[in-house]
Amino acid sequence: MAQVDQAQRSEMLYFGEPAGRIAFEKFAKKFTGLPTDEAAVVDALNSVEKFFEVAE
């Protein structure tokens, strides 16, 4: 069970911050009427893609 917890924490470290940025840009800003910063979304996606390249 400890290994599962450790894996979940590792994923949160890698994906929590980029996922939060994407959600803010794509959803929160939409509800407030602000424009989406596509550069921030691309940057967050690049962060996630770097992890997947290493994981393979």
Q: What is the pLDDT of residues 11-52, one digit of tens each?
A: 666 688 888 999 999 999 999 999 999 999 999 999 888 877
How many domains is the chain built from? 1
pLDDT at 9 over 90: no
- How many alpha carbons fall within 13 Å on the CB side of residue 9? 6
Contacts for 29 with CB less than 8 Å, ≥ 6 apart: 35, 36, 37
Please report the pLDDT score of residue 34 as a whole number: 96
- Determine if residue 11 is left, alpha or beta; phi over 0 gives left, psi from -120 to 50 gives alpha, anything else beta: alpha
Domain hosting residue 10, numbered range: 2-55
The predicted structure's pLDDT at residue 54 = 64
pLDDT at 6 over 80: no
What does the alpha-carbon distance between residue 32 and residue 3 come to, in Å, rounded to a whole number?
Answer: 40
